Amino acid sequence: MQIWFRTALAILLIHSTAVTSGWAALGQSVASVERDRAAMGGEGQTKPGKGYSIETITVAGMTVKEYVSSGGIVFAVAWRGIGAPDLPLLFGSYFDEYREGLTAFQNKKPRIRKPMVLKTAHMVVERAGHARSMWGRAFIPTLLPTTISPEDIQ
């Protein structure tokens, strides 16, 4: 179990499992986190941070953290677990930009086997790990609160 997850567990609040409709993601409001949790069939937890909060969703071997600004906007997501989380869900309106960027990235020849670092017009996406424990994070640099640096998104 990751260190951050233990810390989160120590001070988390357990969310209600109320289900709301619609989809949610990067750049959208905190309400979308609960919709993500419901859509993924996961369990939710909240950890307050300085100028932001971290909403954690745990589901089927995957832990997803959504970073929410004090203004209530999701500015980053991070995940660790088996495979990949539901990125169309988590990236929302940014998913198409990600897909385009990823396709261009994948079309570079020859391929290089290193952790993925993808910077598109509006987002940074990084992925690494191995088959049983894939790690990734995505954030919108222009939405990042001044109280957090990219290294804090883990």
Partner 1 sequence: MKFRVLACVFICLLSGCGGGGDSGGGAASPPAGPNVLTVSVGASALCTNVNTLCAQVTICQPGTSSCQTIPNMLVDIGSFGLRIFGSVLSPSLTQVVDSQNNPIGECMFFADGSAFWGPVQRADVVLGGEPAVPVPIHVIAPTFAGQSASNNPCNSMVGSDPLDAGFNGVLGIGVFAQDCGSVCATQSNNNLYFSCVASTCTSTTVPLLNQVQNPVWLLPSDNNGVILTLPNVPATGAQTVSGSLILGIGTSANNSPTPGVSVLKTDQNGLLTTIYKGTTFGQSVVDSGSNGYFFPDATIPLCATPLQDFYCPQAPINLSATLVGTNGHQEGISFQVANTLSLSQTGNAVFNNLGGQFPIFVWGLPFFLGRTAYVGIESQPSTLGTGPLLAF
Catalog residues that contact partner 1 under the rule CB under 8 A: 1-3, 40-41, 59-61, 80, 82-88, 99, 102-103, 105-107, 109-118, 126-135, 137, 150-151, 154
Nearer to partner 1, 21 or 109 (CB): 109
Nearest to partner 1 of 12, 102 (CB atom): 102
Nearest-approach distance from CB 82 to partner 1, in angstroms: 5
Q: Do 94 and 56 touch, CB atoms closer than 8 A?
A: no
**Do the beta carbons of residue 22 and residue 35 sit within 8 Å?**
yes
Smallest separation, CB 43 to partner 1 (Å) = 13
- Minimum gap (Å) between residue 72 Cβ and partner 1: 26
Of 2 and 147, the one with the shorter C-beta distance to partner 1 is 2
